Amino acid sequence: MSRSLPGVLDTRIVVHPAGVIAILAVLAAGALALAWGWPGALVFAIVIGVALLVAVATILRPVHFEVEVTTDQPRVVVGTVSVARVEVTAGTRGSPPAVIDVPVGSATASFLVPRLGPREQFSEPFLIPTTRRQVLELGPATAVRSDALGLLSRDTVLSGSERIYVHPRTVLPAYDATGLLHDVEGVRSSALSPADISFHALRDYAPGDDRRHVHWPSSAKAGKLVVRQFEQTRRSAHLVVIDLRRDAYEDEAAAELALGMGASYGVEAVLNDRDIMLRCGDEVMPSATPMRLLDAVTTREFVDAGESLPELVHAAVQAMPHASACTIITGTRLDDEEVLRATRALPLSATGLVLRATTDGRIVRKRLGGAVQFTCSSLEQLRRVSAAVLA
């Protein structure tokens, strides 16, 4: 009956332990009354039976309101607060006071809805704090109706559910991910060149300069030869590999920092319309938009066991052999030998970078095979890493 009412999506009747005891007591007392003719047992069975009938009549009363749970912030950054709202609209006959439960992840928010007149509305905002990266399930809202003795209850689902993505914190590392290969469709670098497509400045002619780059109008004004100087354009295709093995990191905070580092490089590349492949473990994150990338990163979980770092990097390079820059992100618990074997899988023409996430200490730089390694304890240090790599 309740499924056909407006606003009701599903119902579930719950028999509580007291209800189970009451049902068994009725059956036992009734059996004793019939078998032995005990008047006391018959009276006891009738009293408990009446209590059960009243409980059934109480919980089967129809729900006369509709509920909607919404949020204006389906995507937030970890550490911030999301604001949601529960809105209740009474039916044409109004509704008595009720309690509405709204699951928020593993917690539940309860709202006491007062008596409402016909078509009267009740609205209550509430705050959802976020302390870690996760996908929160908001809703569905449920009206719980039970009898006075707590024998039975009926949970009536009155709304759908929404997802709130709690994204990792990110920064823009200012890393152009250029390698050694020139590419006329690439990005400008700080290196100067006598011939390219990105004009930089004019300078005096020097023996050996290509006369095709002489700027004749400026030469006529200066009374001497002046040539154009260019900035080199280099290929920018960034491959980022994040190690998702939990035992590679000293604690959960370091692991989340590693994920935030990888997401930072991914978001910056997408915003600048550069080629990016972000691999979290063995899975490639979608990079059509920054939101899609962050949503996918938010759903990733760290694992207790998985492929070794050299295997992950080798598979990633096979998937993106034209990468101009390769960034490997892992923790400080991984031994240098395994990281060194991972760097050997990087293309020779690519700029190799290894980031080791930690939660304590200053930034530390050292050479590891054909790549440069930095131990970082915060996202803000990524800008210093970029400046050091691009210098």
Which residue in 262, 217, 231 sits closest to 244, CA to CA?
A: 262
| Domain assignment present for 276 | yes
- What are the b/e assignments for 161-188, b being 16+ CB within 10 Å? eeebbbbbbbbebebbbbbeeebeebbb
- 373 and 360 within one domain: yes
Q: Same structural domain for residues 353 and 281?
A: yes
pTM: 0.75
Q: Is the same domain home to 365 and 334? A: yes
CATH number of the structural domain spanning residue 296: 3.40.50.410
182 inside domain: no
Residue 1 lies in a domain: no
Token pair belonging to 79? 């550490």
Q: Are residues 272 and 371 in the same domain?
A: yes
Domain presence at residue 71? yes
Residue 172 lies inside a defined structural domain of this protein: no
Residue span of the structural domain in which 226 resides: 189-233
Per-residue pLDDT of the chain (391 residues; tens, 9 = 90+): 233 344 555 777 778 888 888 888 888 888 888 888 788 888 888 898 898 888 888 777 777 788 899 898 899 999 999 999 999 988 888 888 888 899 998 888 889 888 888 888 999 999 999 989 999 999 898 888 777 788 887 888 888 888 999 999 999 998 887 754 444 444 555 554 544 444 456 667 677 666 666 666 777 777 777 766 656 555 578 999 999 999 999 999 999 999 999 999 999 999 988 889 999 998 999 999 999 999 999 999 999 988 999 999 999 999 999 888 999 999 999 999 999 999 999 988 888 999 999 988 788 999 988 899 999 999 999 999 998 887 6
Residue 59 has a CB neighbour count (10 Å cut-off) of 21
* Same domain assignment for residues 272 and 322: yes
Measured distance CA(145)–CA(99) in Å, rounded: 8
Domain membership flag for residue 294: yes
Are 261 and 384 within one domain? yes
Domain count, the chain: 4
Domain at 160, CATH number = 2.60.40.10
